[in-house]
Structure 1
Amino acid sequence: MAISRFYAGAGQRRRDGRLDSVSSPTRSRAPAIAYERRLSRQREEAGLGRAAAAIAHEIRNPLNAMAMGLQRLQLEADELLPAHRRLLDIVFAAVGRTNSTVTGLLDYARPLHPRRERLALDALVSEQ
């Protein structure tokens, strides 16, 4: 870690060989440490976003193929028994739920972009 290498030489030796206090350089490094932590968190979040996108891609491709096949069966298979039609409906619903889960994963991993807008605080308070 880059920070620990910095601290290794932070103290100064006096003429008598004793080490001066290292607390002053530590305090002066606090903004740099906070910045490095934010940068590390941003890198982790970016990695999570890339992983979520890759997972979504690998899951959605077969899901789309299954959904298209199920739709074709529903449209073209007039001779299916009611039990088989019910099974098609169940599988089709499961594909839809899985697709919704993938969408939720992508939404969770996607960075938030807050939207600024003016609002009347008095109206907001009066609604409560």
Structure 2
Amino acid sequence: ADGTHYLMDNCESYGGLISWSALERRLGRDAGPRYLAAAERLRQAIMSRLYDPATHRFHWAESDGVVHAASWDTYYPDALAQLFPVLYGVVPAGGEPAGSLWREFAARYDPRGGGEMSPSERTIIELTRERVIQ
């Protein structure tokens, strides 16, 4: 589909589909597999359209076939967006590229260093840290 596809939005949608599928299964409904299949299609689209294996990071957006490559020097949306695939499970937290994404982000933007950021940004960072460091 045409338009702009944002990494953060698509990762949130993926997480929502996974959660909804789990809820459907828990409630004994048969729609769970349908949502799980939709989540997998979305994960594959994120990986094929927004992940750059040459740089080992994600583009923060793709708009009508033009990718918006992320720069570690730009905190938002570029660098912060790198945490979303890890946080929402698009990539496994215990492997790569999650580990390298986290290490690069933490080296530049560790909130424990006293940098300014919103409470929601701190939460995103801390939850991602917990997933990767486990």
User: With structure 2 as the length reference, what TM-score do the two structures score?
Assistant: 0.31
Q: Mark the structure with the bigger radius of gyration.
A: 1
Question: Which TM-score applies when normalising by structure 1?
Answer: 0.32
